[in-house]
Amino acid sequence: MRVALPIVCLLSTAALAAPSFERSLAPPHAFDGIHAGAALDSAKTPLAKFRDDAAYSDAMGRHRLVRDAGDGALYYVLVENDVIARIGVEAPADGLEARLAALWGAPAKIQNAAHEAVASWSDGARRVDMACRETRCRLAFHELLGAAFFGTDIAPPGELARVRAGMSRDEVRAVAPHHAGGAVVPAGYEDVRTSLDFDAGGRVRAVMVGGLPASGRALLERAWGKATETPRGLMWLGAGGWRAIYDETLRTLQLAGYVPAAQLLGSGPGIAALPRPVLGATPDQLAASYPTFHSTTIDLPATEAAAFATAVALDFTKGHVTGVTIPLAYDSPARRDSLLALLRSKWGKPVQRADAGAQIYAYPVPRLVIEAHERPGVLELRLRLP
């Protein structure tokens, strides 16, 4: 006689306890449809089971949504500027690390930016960090940043791919609405954040990417090729009008619109970036011709080595422009020499002289005074009516 015995499933304590964790480093199923970097509105349905945590606050001004996970634990979602910044679990500390080690293996021990001891697990695509304080631990589930985030072209990443230098806030609102106000927006990978820098006229001056991991340089060079070392950081020049500079110390990437100096100056005797008359013009005429005219300057894009936009300074006499100064930045003797070669090709061999420690190059142009004043890091190109 055969006796039917009940089938017994031997589940570990780790599998039975709440909250529920996957054997992979994927977030618990409570987060299905919820992920960092997503707009809050896009996750309304799965977030319907979460509630506001009015008692939560942090230094970054984020707010928190929570959902009960059982046994005193919470599933949580951090929100920054209406974008999901982080997802994770907060749970009692007792036995938690041992339970997770049974699932994921022994953790690495690191220290976070707040100088807290952190247990960290990674599988190369995801990372889970756990920091404990007193009787509770907080886990954060991260998707690791990869070179694919930056793409193969030197241009703004992710949602900002359609942003162009010089766009107005209204134009940005149409393609990247969460960035139109200049807010810092979570990118969805680790602690990477993006924001836009607008000039005084409300037009995009630069794209900022902060919070990059220690592997930032390696990821960028995998995406864009080897960088050029400059005094301002690692630099890449893109064919699409973007220049990227990475600060390894701060782990920040700045993408700004730029125009090669050769393109800004042009090949003819005039200044290509100033196609309409400037010398002799009135403020009203300049305002009609140049949207970036501001009282005594016209802002042009930065050139290769310039820290900021090229601010063309204007001198006025009796309401008319009588002088123009265009700063042409250089970051090496080679770049300075290439600028001087450009000027020579436009206006001929200059006469050189020294004045108050500055080297001055005067070009033989009729009915106009054109000089380049060499100063540390910049050639000041000056055009004057005689």
Closest listed residue to residue 314, CA positions, set 285, 343, 354, 355: 285
pLDDT at 11 over 50: no
Closest listed residue to residue 122, CA positions, set 103, 102, 142: 142
In which residue are the tokens 């601010």 written?
A: 311
Average pLDDT over residues 320-345: 96
Instruction: Give the pLDDT band (50/70/90) at residue 17.
Output: low
Average pLDDT over residues 38-46: 95
Kind plus residue range of the DSSP H or E element containing 53: none
Tokens representing 142 are 């991260």
- Cross-strand pairs, 253: 209, 246
Tokens representing 106 are 């022994």
Instruction: Give the pLDDT band (50/70/90) at residue 235.
Output: very high
Look at 189 and 16; give whichever has higher pLDDT. 189
| Cα 26 from Cα 87, distance rounded (Å) | 11
pLDDT of residue 20: 85
pLDDT of residue 108: 96
Average pLDDT, the chain: 92
In which residue are the tokens 């529920």 written?
A: 20
In which residue are the tokens 């864009």 written?
A: 224
pLDDT of residue 112: 76
pLDDT at 183 over 70: yes
Average pLDDT over residues 82-109: 96
- pTM (predicted TM-score): 0.81
Closest listed residue to residue 201, CA positions, set 289, 304, 298: 298
> Own/partner pairs for 306-309, CB < 8 Å, 24+ apart?
306/258, 307/232, 309/199, 309/205
pLDDT one-digit tens code per residue, 254-287: 999 999 999 999 998 999 999 999 999 999 999 9
Residues 6+ apart with CB under 8 A from 248: 216, 217, 233, 234
Instruction: Give the pLDDT band (50/70/90) at residue 3.
Output: very low
Residues 6+ apart with CB under 8 A from 267: 345, 346
Can you tell me whether residue 118 is helix, strand or coil? strand
| Cα 176 from Cα 170, distance rounded (Å) | 10
DSSP conformation letters of 212-250: --TTHHHHHHHHH-PPEEETTEEEEE-TTSEEEEEETTT
Instruction: Give the pLDDT band (50/70/90) at residue 115.
Output: confident
In which residue are the tokens 């100056």 written?
A: 265
pLDDT at 386 over 60: yes
Phi, psi of 347 (to 5 degrees): -130, 5
pLDDT of residue 60: 87
Domains in the chain: boundaries = 17-143, 151-257, 263-384
Average pLDDT over residues 111-123: 86
Least confident stretch, 36-40, 109-113, 146-150: 109-113
- Express as a percent the part of the chain with pLDDT over 70: 95
pLDDT at 7 over 60: no
pLDDT of residue 1: 36
DSSP conformation letters of 315-380: EEETTEEEEEEEEEE-SSHHHHHHHHHHHHHHH-SPEEEEETTEEEEEE--TTSEEEEEEETTEEE
Closest listed residue to residue 205, CA positions, set 299, 277, 281, 92: 299
pLDDT of residue 314: 98
